[in-house]
Amino acid sequence: MSVISSPREKSLSTATDFMIGQNLWKKILIGMALGVLAGLALSPESMALLPAETAYNLGEWIRLPGVLFLGLIQMVIVPLVVCSIILGIAENGSVDNVRRLGLRIVPYFIMTTAIAITIGLFMVNIIKPGMAIDPEFARTVIAADSAENTTPARTFDDLTVPERIANMIPTNFAQASLERNMLQIVIAAILVGIALLTVTPKSGRPFRDLCISGQVLSMKIISWAMIIAPYAVFGLICSITIRIGFGALVSVGYYMLTVLAALVIMLGVYLLIVKFIAGQSLKSFIAGIREVQILAFSTSSSAAAMPFSIQAAEEKLNIKPEISRFVIPLGTTINMDGTALYQAVAAIFLCQVFGIELSFAAMLLLLMTTVGASIGTPATPGVGIVILATILVGIGVPVEGIALIIGVDRILDMCRTTINVTGDLTAASVMQRWGGVK
Shortest gap between Cβ of 373 and ligand ASP (angstroms)? 10
Angle between helices 182-198 and 360-376 (to 10 degrees): 50
| Residues within window 43-102 making contact with ligand ASP, judged by CB under 6 A | none
* Binding characters for ligand ASP, 15-34, by CB under 6 A (x = yes): --------------------
| CA 385 to centroid of chain Cα atoms | 11
Residue type, 40: L
> What number of other Cβ atoms are within 10 A of residue 382's Cβ?
16
- Segment contacting ligand ASP by CB under 6 A, of 194-202, 208-216, 296-304, 361-369: 296-304
Options 293, 309, 339, 422; binder of ligand ASP; rule CB under 6 A: 339
Q: Which candidate, 232, 263, 295, 255, places its Cα nearest to that of 409?
A: 255
Distance CA 88, CA 102 (A): 13
The closest residue (CB) to ligand ASP is 384
Per-residue binder mask for ligand ASP (CB under 6 A), 181-200, x = binder: --------------------
**Smallest separation, CB 382 to ligand ASP (Å):** 5
Residue in 11, 84, 177, 300 binding ligand ASP, rule: CB under 6 A:
300
CA atoms lying within 13 Å on the CB side of residue 35: 27
Determine the distance from the C-alpha atom of residue 54 to the mean position of all C-alpha atoms in its chain, rounded to a whole number.
34
Q: Of 9, 400, 413, 424, which one interacts with ligand ASP (CB under 6 A)? A: 413
Q: Is 417 in the site for ligand ASP (CB under 6 A)?
A: yes
**Does 298 contact ligand ASP by CB under 6 A?**
no
Q: Which is nearer to ligand ASP, 239 or 374 (CB)?
A: 374
Interior/surface letters 244-260, b for 16+ CB within 10 angstroms, e for the rest = bbeebbebbebbbebbb
For ligand ASP, the closer of residues 212 and 379 by Cβ is: 379
Nearer to ligand ASP, 101 or 263 (CB): 263
CA distance 410 to 240: 8
CA distance 252 to 254: 6
Confirm or reject binding of residue 322 to ligand ASP (CB under 6 A): no
Q: State the minimum distance, in angstroms, from the CB of residue 186 to ligand ASP.
A: 13
Residue 110 or 195: the one with the smaller Cβ distance to ligand ASP is: 110
**Contact assessment for residue 301 and residue 381, using Cβ atoms and an 8 Å cutoff:** yes
Q: Are 89 and 328 in contact (CB under 8 A)?
A: no
Q: Give 382 or 398: the residue with its C-beta nearer to ligand ASP.
A: 382
**Phi, psi of 157, rounded to the nearest 5 degrees:** -75, 160
- Give the residue with the Cβ less far from ligand ASP, 8 or 416: 416
Query: Which CB sits closer to ligand ASP, 42 or 373?
Result: 373
Among 97, 420, 426, 432, binds ligand ASP (CB under 6 A): 420
Please identify, using beta-carbon distances, which residue of 31 and 331 lies nearer to ligand ASP. 331
Closer CB to ligand ASP, residue 280 or residue 299? 299
> Of the listed pieces 55-63, 282-290, 311-319, 411-419, which binds ligand ASP according to CB under 6 A?
411-419
Q: Which of residues 365-384 bind ligand ASP (CB under 6 A)?
A: 377, 379-384
CB-CB contact of 152 with 386 (8 Å): yes
CA–CA dist 310, 319 (Å, integer) = 9
Kindly state the number of chain residues that form the binding site for ligand ASP, as judged by CB under 6 A. Answer: 16
Question: Long-range CB contacts (< 8 A, 24+ apart) of 100-104?
Answer: 100/435, 100/436, 100/437, 101/322, 101/323, 101/326, 101/327, 101/431, 101/435, 101/436, 101/437, 102/326, 102/330, 104/431, 104/434, 104/435, 104/436
Q: Are the beta carbons of 312 and 424 closer than 8 angstroms?
A: no
Q: What is the DSSP letter of 307?
A: H
Does position 347 interact with ligand ASP (CB under 6 A)? The reply is: no
Q: Is 416 in the site for ligand ASP (CB under 6 A)?
A: yes
Of these, 72, 336, 346, 437, which contacts ligand ASP (CB under 6 A)?
336
The residues binding ligand ASP (CB under 6 A) are 300-302, 336, 339, 377, 379-384, 413, 416-417, 420
